[in-house]
Amino acid sequence: MPVKKQASVKSIKRKSRKSQKVAMGRSKEFLYRGLSLEDLQKMKLEEVLEVLPSRARRSLRREMNHEQKAAHMKLSGEDHEVKTHVRDLIILPAYVGKVVEVYNGHAYVKFDIKPEMIGHYLGEFSQTRGQVKHSGPGVGATRSSKFMPLK
């Protein structure tokens, strides 16, 4: 009969830490500065402003322009999908769950608004500059660089 090895104190502590992490990971709820999404959605705009970062708070207190107001009305309404050119609109809790298509200067970029996006601008999620991909080395540079040795 084989003799069972006793676990070290270190391994026992490690196992207890892992089990705590698993238990904590299961009940992961979204919190924005200590408030749940449901609490944020129940608040009035003035109350939400106090929770947002200072830049967003200042922008919203100075009133929205005509385009921003129109986009805000569409996003606050019953429409599930909204197509817009407005990139400088701050995402509010009322917009969570909506699908937005934001123009990036070339095409519309479609994305879902998630709770983690609250307080950010719509334009942050619609990139205007793409990744540069060059062709082969030295193509068109000089006559000598056109030579590519065969492998």
**Burial of 40 (C-beta count, 10 Å sphere; 0-12/13-18/19+):** buried
pLDDT tens, position by position, 55-66: 999 999 999 999
pTM value is 0.70
Domains and CATH numbers, the chain: 30-125 (3.30.860.10)
Q: What is the DSSP letter of 35?
A: E
Angle at 34 between CA 32 and CA 36, to 5 degrees: 60
pLDDT tens, position by position, 4-39: 667 788 888 888 887 776 555 455 788 998 999 999
- The pLDDT value recorded for residue 141 is 60
**Burial of 92 (C-beta count, 10 Å sphere; 0-12/13-18/19+):** buried
pLDDT tens, position by position, 95-147: 999 999 999 999 999 999 999 999 999 999 999 998 888 776 655 566 666 56
User: What long-range pairs does 98-104 form, CB within 8 A, spacing at least 24?
Assistant: 100/75, 102/126, 104/128
